[in-house]
């Protein structure tokens, strides 16, 4: 169930933009994924970290900016030294920006940043990672899509009767 603080943020924010702020893509330690015979033995590790959020005034607009770090790396677990074990690294910092239509409490901003911003960024990250893998001759990772139920009507008689429709 959506908390009151989160619902206030959802009702008060409107998506404005999602974009890449930083991107790193490396094959490390002379690794060449195109010709490596043992590529399937590598282990994929992923990263997802909501780093920061802030309210800023830009021109006439008040914006909430949420910074999220995402990444994937392929490692060889047989390597003893961690720096030698990383064979491929793809990482990105995304920014999601929202128009702030009403003043929000810090609790609402924090909860929205931690629970909702990544959902807006996720499709862009999926596409970026898939394309970057293809460009580097790395077998593509197809990250799952993420879908979320609309919980606004939870507890309402419409939902209990099954008459509510998803967005």
Domain span at 76: 4-161
pLDDT tens-digit profile of 89-108? 999 999 999 999 999 999 99
**Can you give the pTM of this predicted structure?**
0.82
Beta-strand ranges (E) seen in 7-151 are 13-27, 43-58, 61-75, 86-100
Q: Has residue 152 been placed in a domain?
A: yes
Q: Has residue 166 been placed in a domain?
A: no
Q: Has residue 58 been placed in a domain?
A: yes
Q: Has residue 124 been placed in a domain?
A: yes
- Sheet of 13-27: strand order equals 13-27, 86-100, 61-75, 43-58
pLDDT tens-digit profile of 50-64? 999 999 999 888 999
Domain with residue 8: its CATH number is 3.10.420.10
Number of domains present in the structure of the chain: 1
């Amino acid at each position: 169930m959506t908390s009151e603080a989160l619902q206030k943020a959802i009702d008060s924010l409107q998506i404005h933009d999602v974009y890449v702020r930083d991107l790193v893509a490396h094959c490390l330690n002379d690794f060449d994924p195109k010709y490596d015979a043992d590529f399937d033995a590598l282990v994929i590790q992923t990263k997802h970290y909501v780093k920061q959020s802030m309210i800023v005034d830009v021109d006439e607009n008040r914006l909430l900016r949420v910074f999220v770090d995402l990444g994937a790396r392929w490692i060889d677990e047989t390597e003893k030294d961690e720096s030698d074990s990383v064979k491929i690294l793809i990482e990105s910092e995304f920014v999601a920006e929202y128009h702030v239509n009403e003043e929000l409490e810090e609790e609402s901003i924090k909860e929205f940043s931690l629970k909702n911003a990544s959902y807006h960024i996720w499709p862009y990250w999926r596409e970026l990672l898939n394309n970057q893998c293809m460009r580097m001759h790395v077998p593509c990772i197809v990250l799952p899509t993420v879908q979320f139920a609309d919980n606004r009507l939870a507890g309402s008689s419409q939902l209990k009767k099954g008459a509510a429709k998803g967005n």
